[in-house]
Amino acid sequence: MSGDPRTVVRKFLARPQHEGVGAVVRRSIGRFELKYFDPFLVLDEFSLTAPAGFPDHPHRGFETVTYMLQGSVTHEDFEGHKGTIGVGDLQWMTAGRGIVHSEMPASHGTQKGLQLWINLSSRHKMIEPRYQEMASTNIAEANEDGVTVRIIAGESLGIQSPIYTRTPTMFLDFTLEPGAQMQQPVPESWNAFVYILEGEGVFGKSRSSSTTAHHLLLLGPGDRLMAWNRSSKMLRFILVGGEPIGQPVVQWGPFVMNTQEEIDQTIQDFENFENGFEKARFWRSEATQDH
């Protein structure tokens, strides 16, 4: 490879905070100090223990990617789309012009996962909603020299994920055994980050100091990432990259548009059950109905 490897330019520790109803999230992207990392709006490592959850709420203008780490979450939306995603399963939801749904724990104990919000460009914000779901058993996994990679989106070790990314995105889940090292190409023009799930690792430059779990690492320019596990425990992290959109972002909670006028219109659409929110008028999720 001809270019330079990417180095770590900023580092954030994601501390737990409260979100939804009784839920706890470690938010890295989307917090005050890092409102937006184009095209990424939010990265939450969430933790749900019943009755905590995310009851009926809307989305417009972006995609949500939910990837489970422990336990399971049941989702249901206002079109009748419903399901449960368990450990290692993926839901890639393109909210587009509008989704109203609930996301609630499906079992006892603590459910953990990642939720990433990916922005859509102005010409895609009002597209029809779409789901892409992949059970853990269908997610391709490649193995090489102590490195295991699960290919959620994009390509690694010659394997391409079938997930269609409306905003070009890569999402890879790496596990490195003690002593292992990895190298992964990342398109030069993309923004990319690492989020550490477990263990500790050295990222970017071989001589840099190691970083532990729940840290977000923003990567600088370059054409690939290199990482090393010099510890005696497993290292697990995600590497995510995306093509920057380069458009203004105006966000109001779960609505993400380009202008304040579009946000005002969205709030009006939601209140009046119009322009994609028609089915919200008489819908309540089973999870939040009185039993």
Residues that bind ligand FJE (CB under 6 A): 19-20, 25, 44, 46, 54, 57, 66, 73, 103, 115, 253-254
Is the separation of the CB atoms in 66 and 44 below 8 Å? no
Count Cβ neighbours within 10 Å for each residue of 110-138 and write b for 16 or more, e otherwise. Answer: ebbbbbbbbbbeeebbbeebeebbbeeee
Which of 46/193 has CB closer to ligand FJE? 46
Burial of residue 160 (number of CB atoms within 10 Å: 0-12, 13-18, 19+): exposed
Which of 25/176 has CB closer to ligand FJE? 25
What backbone phi and psi angles, to 5 degrees, belong to 286?
-60, -35
215 is in an annotated binding site: no
Which of 58/199 has CB closer to ligand FJE? 58
Is the separation of the CB atoms in 195 and 236 below 8 Å? no
103 is in an annotated binding site: yes
Question: Cα separation of 124 and 121, whole Å?
Answer: 5
Q: How far is the CB of 103 from ligand FJE (least distance, A)?
A: 3
75 is in an annotated binding site: no
**Does an H or E element contain 189, and which?**
none
Which of 99/147 has CB closer to ligand FJE? 99
Which of 140/250 has CB closer to ligand FJE? 250
**Does an H or E element contain 125, and which?**
none
What's the full length of the chain, in residues?
Answer: 291
What backbone phi and psi angles, to 5 degrees, belong to 58?
-95, 165
Helix (H, G, I), strand (E, B) or coil at 271: helix
For residue 171, the cross-strand partners are: 153, 240
Which of 115/184 has CB closer to ligand FJE? 115
Is the separation of the CB atoms in 237 and 19 below 8 Å? no
> Which residues have CB under 8 Å from 189's CB, separation 6+?
243, 244
Known binding-site positions for Fe cation: 57, 59, 101, 103
Known binding-site positions: 57, 59, 101, 103
